[in-house]
Amino acid sequence: MSFTKKWLRKDIQSISAYHVPNSDNFLKLDAMESPFVPNQDFQNEFTDFLSKVEINRYPNPSADEVVQSLRNLMGVDDSYGVLLGNGSDELIQILAMACGEKESIMSFSPSFVMYEMIAKFTRLNYLDSPLIDFDINLEEALNLIETQKPKIIFIAYPNNPTGNLFNREKIETIIKSTDALVVLDEAYYAYSNDTFLNDIAKYENLVLLRTISKIGFAGVRLGLLIGSKEIVSGLNKIRLPYNVNSLTQAACKFLLNKKDYLQSHANSIVNERKKLIESLKKYKNITVFPSQANFVLIKTEESEKFFNFLLEKKILIKNLSKMKGLMNYLRITIGSKQDNSIFSSALDEFFS
Ligand SMILES: Cc1ncc(COP(=O)(O)O)c(C=O)c1O
């Protein structure tokens, strides 16, 4: 028996590492990244800015300037605390590490896969409340909360991969019904018409997650948790020192102040989303689901064939068929106007 077979936790041996498909030379419409590449002047200015980073020194441990830039960009009140992570994935991990032995994390299915994966890595129980018609099954969820007493409830708002917002009243009923920390994951806030940002002051057990990955800067790796100062200072004890590196901090100081640039890109995505949904709706054998995010979920009997047809055309979308309950579902990230016209031509060629 090999060393690893003897040594590595059995439950980890039986799972696969998070799979990222090769996308070299593909039109990438699979991971909800921004399609916008900054122009040459922007890139020169950015490179100049980064060249001043003191790479021989540890980063600023509290990244105060980044926090301030995020507060300005997202309108986060000074009375709220902000905790930064190396992407919001790291913040999900920090939240899980705050739970005790044998405690549970709850979320909904289908939803963002990392809630369940991180529960597994941190040896917590995972409680799944299946959605009905892509919305929360309130009765079932409340029953699970009452009987299993989860420590944390993750709610992606808008949800990935369905793209919709769950019913707000149901979420508020859940927040009020439990002693669990409710984490509203607003990764797609820039494309949605609702937020729980103003509700943090109302509920002591509510925090928000956001990320800069979906607004243009997935490569920079920065997520934030917004909550009461007390919760943030408790969670901060678990955060590894220097988790936000100097290059990320410098990049954020430069990038996050470009409010108009970010807003115009968000507007363009929302516009393209509307157009893409119209193109998809032309075909009777495609069901298109409403979206408040920078992606659209569709269902078609032809999912496998269409996915492979796109691969041949060097277009990569996300095939969700292997996820529980999502047989024949595909998720398409909204690209630039040009990206979407390439996708739409392929769509017409396949379905006409
Ligand atoms: C709902 C949701 N939360 C969090 C993330 C991860 O964000 P980050 O890139 O900040 O780790 C994603 C990524 O797809 C997501 O869909």
* Domain identity same for 251 and 275: no
295: enclosing H helix or E strand: strand 295-299
CB-based contact 206:182 (threshold 8 Å): yes
47: in domain: no
Residue 127: give its domain's CATH number: 3.40.640.10
Segment 152-205, tens digit of pLDDT: 999 999 999 999 999 999 999 999 999 999 999 999 999 999 999 999 999 999
Q: How far is CA 52 from CA 72, 201, 254, 283, in A?
A: 24, 39, 12, 53
Considering only CA atoms, which residue is closest to atom 16 of ligand 1?
A: 160
Lateral strand order in the sheet of 80-85: 80-85, 223-228, 206-211, 181-185, 152-156, 104-109, 125-130
Domain boundary among the residues 257, 281, 302 is at: 257
Considering only CA atoms, which residue is closest to atom 2 of ligand 1?
A: 187
Across residues 46-75, what is the average pLDDT? 96
Domain boundary among the residues 224, 257, 290 is at: 257
Cα atoms in the 13 Å half-sphere on the side-chain side of 153: 27
Given the structure tokens 């820039």, which residue do they identify?
190
* Domain identity same for 192 and 332: no
Across residues 138-144, what is the average pLDDT? 98
Q: What is the pTM of this model?
A: 0.97
* Domain identity same for 244 and 143: yes
226: in domain: yes
What pLDDT does residue 30 have? 97
14: in domain: no
Tell me, in angstroms, the distance from the centre of ligand 1 to residue 348's CA: 31
* Domain identity same for 170 and 286: no
* Domain identity same for 251 and 269: no
* Domain identity same for 144 and 96: yes
* Domain identity same for 114 and 221: yes
Pocket of ligand 1 (CB under 6 A): 32, 87-89, 112, 156, 160, 185, 187, 211, 213, 218, 223
User: Into how many domains does the chain fold?
Assistant: 2
Distance CA 352, CA 345 (A): 10
pLDDT band at 25 (very low <50, low <70, confident <90, very high): very high
Residue 277: give its domain's CATH number: 3.90.1150.10
What pLDDT does residue 281 have? 97
In the predicted model, is pLDDT for residue 226 greater than 90?
A: yes
- Taking all residues of the chain, what is their mean pLDDT, rounded to a whole number? 97
Domain boundary among the residues 209, 226, 257 is at: 257
Across residues 268-281, what is the average pLDDT? 97
Range of the domain at 199: 55-257
* Domain identity same for 209 and 336: no
* Domain identity same for 163 and 176: yes
* Domain identity same for 268 and 247: no
Percent pLDDT > 90 in the chain is: 96
